[in-house]
Structure 1
Amino acid sequence: MPPQHNVKHIKIAIVGAGSVGVTTAYALLLNGLAAEIVLIDIDKNRALGEVMDLSHAAHFAQARVRAGEYEDCAGSAAVIITAGVNQKPGQTRLDLVKTNYALFQDVVPKIAQHAPDTILVVATNPVDVLTHAAHQLSGFPVERVLGSGTAMDTTRFRHELGKYFGVNPRNVHAVIVGEHGDSQLAVWSLATISGMRLKDYCQQKGVEFSEAAMEECSKRTKEAAYEIIRRKGKTNYGVASVLVSILEPIITDADAIMTVSRVGTYGGVEDVALSMPCKLNRHGAHQDVPLLLSKSEQEALRQSALSIKEVLSSLTAS
């Protein structure tokens, strides 16, 4: 069992010194959640350069940043995996899966060997498939292997709804579940503002509720990453801040609820990883209370699970 965490002694290891890994290290540094941040990358020179740069920012924070090897994962409260290739034009999602799965076959057992009590946080895409892979390759219990999943999509969704309704996104309670990808599901039946369902909120406010506008919010949420990648070639700030927000309740044992990816049975589909609201604390991610979905949402969740299962099956078959 992981020890009770004290921020003064917290070590976080990040595997992958690409833009997501480094931006996460920077966000973590400024957040003050860790006393030590270890950056691990196959390109040791790059990792060292990033650490030198980050160390100059560490002057304003209370944390030590250093480059390391897999053995330096020992004693980490969490190890974040951001390493992997990004999808290139003309490359299928399956090609991306195979390349990154091969990388995980190398990386995950090394982490598990040196940090057998850590919590694995997977950010590499396709995150649901690779969360499942990390669970299998590590031999860790399901609660100690989680993916960033739809935590990012949920943040984007609340941003879109907040913008549309003219309220702070923090006051919008709405989630995206399922795959972190095209089959993700907006849970409209449980979306609320001020404790009221969206239709009731509109009625109380004296404005018309628009299904079309809601679908547009959902569409923009789903397509946000594509839009950002088309314009700047990658996403890094949003996902880094989400990763830090996932780490915070793990480090502080806060029992916070977030939509993260975890292996389980969803919509009757067994042994698949996708996102549902989970309680996060120092022991990992726990699914204490099943989400109360409408019948159509239950079916959409099943389809999302089946689409991920199909990719998992193709991996084991190859």
Structure 2
Amino acid sequence: MSDFKVGIIGLGHVGAHVLYTLALQGLADDFVLVDLEEKKGKLTAERQDILDSTEFLPHRVNIRIGEIEDLGDRDVIVNAVGDIAALKGSNTRLMELEFNTKAIASYGTRLKNSGFNGILINISNPCDVITKKLSDILSLEKGRVFGTGTGLDTARLKLRLQEKSGVSAESITAYMIGEHGSNQIAPASAISFNGLSLFDFEKAKGIKFDLPEIEKDAKEGGWITYNGKFCTEYAIALTAARLVRFVRYDEKAIVPVSAPLEGEYDENELFVGVPAIVGRNGIEKVIEIPLSESDKKRFHDCCESIRANL
């Protein structure tokens, strides 16, 4: 396996699982881990835990603890800082806004000055706001900074459609778009079953989907996880690892991510969850899916919510 260098900023529940998933799947073999000074003990523990497992892996893995300045040579950086405890008692990812904006302000310029010119994938919430702020600080070429956005919510949407239709999720095309939060939407115009539109599939099967209810389940499913154990970890880590794979192998996959809009969907200067082509250079093209007039309005309402948070 050739060298592929990954940096992870923030080794909480999600960051640690991103490290484990990437190492387990052989998607990277050289890691630098960075976190706050007071969390160095946890960094040491996570590094040791993964290294202890490498004897059972079919490939070599090198992991070291470093500083922001050590990330300049990374092919990909996963930003996973956060204060997950801040979400307790709420139903909004905005509760992490203050902590995460202060965090990236403390190291963003340092990362830029390190000479980093790879791809940065942001997990930290609120994803669209933090991704935009990181992009502004780093000033990299368009597309080299993006967020996981509505990717996990989309996976949840497809699983709900699978449950209701009896059709494998792999045969379903669907997207959650807009804000990675309570305002995201599932446009009916983007849902198809191996080429059959939602309407045509309903007619062929003699069924009727309750799309508002399915959309609600897709948006709120993450809170079932969080409220039960006060963190989310496995699914979001796999979401991030999949994006790393698309970059490493230049897969040019069309997936929903928090992407920069510069005129697409009649929006500008925002990062919003939309389908995009992801490959070696990060986001290579934003894909504009057709929206009904009502979904256009709902999408623009999402964008206004993101602007307000910015």
Please report the TM-score for the alignment, with normalisation by the length of structure 2.
0.92
2:174 is the alignment partner of 1:177 = no
2:125 is the alignment partner of 1:129 = no
In 1: Cα distance, 2:298 partner to 2:258 partner: 17
Pairing of 1:283-294 with structure 2 (within 5 A): 283-294=281-292
Pairing of 1:39-54 with structure 2 (within 5 A): 39-42=33-36, 43-54=39-50
In 1: Cα distance, 2:100 partner to 2:287 partner: 32
In 2: Cα distance, 1:98 partner to 1:165 partner: 41
Identify which of 252, 255, 270 aligns with 1:255. 252
In 2: Cα distance, 1:93 partner to 1:278 partner: 23
Structure-2 change in CA distance of 1:183 and 1:288 (3 Å) = closer
| Secondary structure of 1:146's aligned partner | strand
Pairing of 1:86-165 with structure 2 (within 5 A): 86=84, 87-89=86-88, 96-165=96-165
| Secondary structure of 2:246's aligned partner | helix
The equivalent of 1:3 in structure 2 is none
Counterpart AA for 1:294: S
Asked if structure 1 preserves the Cα contact closer than 8 Å seen for 2:131 and 2:258, the reply is yes
In 1: Cα distance, 2:149 partner to 2:182 partner: 12
2:69 is the alignment partner of 1:55 = no
Pairing of 1:1-318 with structure 2 (within 5 A): 8-42=2-36, 43-61=39-57, 62=59, 63-86=61-84, 87-89=86-88, 96-205=96-205, 207-210=206-209, 212=210, 214-265=211-262, 267-312=265-310
| Secondary structure of 1:307's aligned partner | helix
In 2: Cα distance, 1:147 partner to 1:132 partner: 9
In 1: Cα distance, 2:101 partner to 2:147 partner: 14
Structure-2 change in CA distance of 1:253 and 1:230 (3 Å) = same
In 1: Cα distance, 2:95 partner to 2:153 partner: 23
Asked if structure 1 preserves the Cα contact closer than 8 Å seen for 2:87 and 2:93, the reply is no
Structure-2 change in CA distance of 1:71 and 1:138 (3 Å) = same
In 2: Cα distance, 1:234 partner to 1:47 partner: 18
Counterpart AA for 1:198: L
Asked if structure 2 preserves the Cα contact closer than 8 Å seen for 1:267 and 1:305, the reply is no
Cα deviation for residue 132 of structure 1 reads 0.6
**Identity percentage of aligned residues:** 27
Structure-2 change in CA distance of 1:174 and 1:81 (3 Å) = same
Cα deviation for residue 284 of structure 1 reads 1.0
Asked if structure 1 preserves the Cα contact closer than 8 Å seen for 2:122 and 2:148, the reply is yes
| Secondary structure of 1:185's aligned partner | coil
Asked if structure 2 preserves the Cα contact closer than 8 Å seen for 1:85 and 1:100, the reply is yes
Q: Which runs of 5+ in 2 are unaligned?
A: none
| Secondary structure of 1:142's aligned partner | coil
**TM-align CA RMSD:** 1.7
Cα deviation for residue 198 of structure 1 reads 2.1
Please report the TM-score for the alignment, with normalisation by the length of structure 1.
0.90
CA-to-partner distance for each residue in 1:145-204, whole Å, 9 max, x for gaps? 101100111111111111111122111110111110011010211201121012212322
| Secondary structure of 1:287's aligned partner | strand
Counterpart AA for 1:32: G
In 2: Cα distance, 1:115 partner to 1:59 partner: 34
In 1: Cα distance, 2:87 partner to 2:109 partner: 27
Counterpart AA for 2:76: A
Cα deviation for residue 90 of structure 1 reads 6.0
Q: Which runs of 5+ in 1 are unaligned?
A: 1-6, 313-318
In 2: Cα distance, 1:41 partner to 1:169 partner: 37
In 1: Cα distance, 2:115 partner to 2:53 partner: 27
In 1: Cα distance, 2:283 partner to 2:198 partner: 29
Counterpart AA for 1:53: D
| Secondary structure of 2:77's aligned partner | strand
Counterpart AA for 1:51: R
Counterpart AA for 1:8: S
May I ask how many residue pairs the two structures share in their alignment?
303
Counterpart AA for 1:13: G
In 2: Cα distance, 1:288 partner to 1:223 partner: 26
